[in-house]
Amino acid sequence: MLLLTALFERLNRWWAYRQTVRELSLLTDRDLHDLGLDRSEINVVSRHASGF
């Protein structure tokens, strides 16, 4: 049961990571700049935000 729980949590983190990447990727460069981000930072920020 513990293995299933760990797998489920990992999948949830992965899903949150992918969702964050998707949403940030849809923003314009100007919108990203307003957030203090560069397009090249999307993956790093998404990993940090999701805990993945």
- Mean pLDDT, range 4-10, rounded to an integer: 95
pLDDT band at 52 (very low <50, low <70, confident <90, very high): confident
Burial category of 7 from C-beta neighbours within 10 Å (exposed 0-12, middle 13-18, buried 19 and up): exposed
| 22 has a pLDDT exceeding 90 | yes
- Mean pLDDT, range 12-41, rounded to an integer: 97
Domain that holds residue 22: 2-50
Q: In the chain, how many domains are there?
A: 1
